[in-house]
Amino acid sequence: MGSLALFLLSMTIGGLVGGANIIDQLFGNVNPQTTIARSMGKYRLIILIIVSVSSFRILEALDKT
Protein backbone atom coordinates (compact mmCIF):
# COMPACT_ATOMS: atom_id res chain seq x y z
CA MET A 1 0.00 0.00 0.00
CA GLY A 2 2.94 2.32 0.66
CA SER A 3 4.11 2.01 -2.93
CA LEU A 4 0.71 3.06 -4.24
CA ALA A 5 0.72 6.10 -1.99
CA LEU A 6 4.23 7.01 -3.13
CA PHE A 7 3.21 6.59 -6.76
CA LEU A 8 0.16 8.84 -6.36
CA LEU A 9 2.18 11.43 -4.46
CA SER A 10 4.92 11.48 -7.08
CA MET A 11 2.41 11.83 -9.91
CA THR A 12 0.68 14.68 -8.06
CA ILE A 13 3.98 16.48 -7.49
CA GLY A 14 4.92 15.89 -11.12
CA GLY A 15 1.66 17.45 -12.26
CA LEU A 16 2.12 20.47 -10.01
CA VAL A 17 5.74 20.98 -11.04
CA GLY A 18 4.79 20.62 -14.69
CA GLY A 19 2.10 23.26 -14.33
CA ALA A 20 -0.76 20.92 -15.16
CA ASN A 21 -4.17 22.23 -14.19
CA ILE A 22 -6.29 19.09 -14.02
CA ILE A 23 -9.59 20.95 -13.55
CA ASP A 24 -9.10 22.98 -16.75
CA GLN A 25 -8.16 19.84 -18.66
CA LEU A 26 -11.24 17.97 -17.42
CA PHE A 27 -13.54 20.76 -18.60
CA GLY A 28 -11.76 21.06 -21.95
CA ASN A 29 -10.36 24.56 -21.42
CA VAL A 30 -6.79 23.43 -22.12
CA ASN A 31 -5.31 21.46 -24.98
CA PRO A 32 -3.58 18.54 -23.17
CA GLN A 33 -1.13 17.96 -26.03
CA THR A 34 0.38 21.43 -25.80
CA THR A 35 0.35 21.41 -22.00
CA ILE A 36 2.19 18.10 -21.84
CA ALA A 37 4.69 19.15 -24.51
CA ARG A 38 5.43 22.44 -22.74
CA SER A 39 5.87 20.68 -19.38
CA MET A 40 8.08 17.99 -20.84
CA GLY A 41 10.35 20.55 -22.46
CA LYS A 42 10.69 22.74 -19.40
CA TYR A 43 10.96 20.10 -16.69
CA ARG A 44 12.17 17.05 -18.61
CA LEU A 45 14.73 15.90 -16.01
CA ILE A 46 12.38 16.31 -13.05
CA ILE A 47 9.60 14.40 -14.79
CA LEU A 48 12.00 11.66 -15.86
CA ILE A 49 13.23 11.19 -12.28
CA ILE A 50 9.70 11.10 -10.84
CA VAL A 51 8.48 8.59 -13.43
CA SER A 52 11.59 6.42 -12.97
CA VAL A 53 11.25 6.29 -9.19
CA SER A 54 7.52 5.57 -9.44
CA SER A 55 8.05 2.78 -11.96
CA PHE A 56 10.78 1.24 -9.82
CA ARG A 57 8.53 1.26 -6.75
CA ILE A 58 5.65 -0.35 -8.65
CA LEU A 59 7.89 -3.10 -10.03
CA GLU A 60 9.37 -3.64 -6.57
CA ALA A 61 5.87 -4.01 -5.10
CA LEU A 62 4.85 -6.46 -7.82
CA ASP A 63 7.93 -8.58 -7.14
CA LYS A 64 6.93 -8.97 -3.49
CA THR A 65 3.49 -10.36 -4.35
For the chain, 65 residues long, give each residue's pLDDT as a single digit of tens.
577 777 777 776 666 555 556 666 566 666 655 555 555 556 666 666 777 777 777 777 777 76
DSSP state of 30: S
CB crowding 5-31: b at 16 or more within 10 Å, else e: eebeebeeebbeebebeeeeeeeeeee
Looking at residue 43, what is its pLDDT? 65
The residues near 63 (Cβ < 8 Å, ≥ 6 apart) are none
pTM over 0.85? The answer is no
Are 65 and 39 spatial neighbours (Cβ–Cβ below 8 Å)?
Answer: no
Domain boundaries, the chain: 2-64
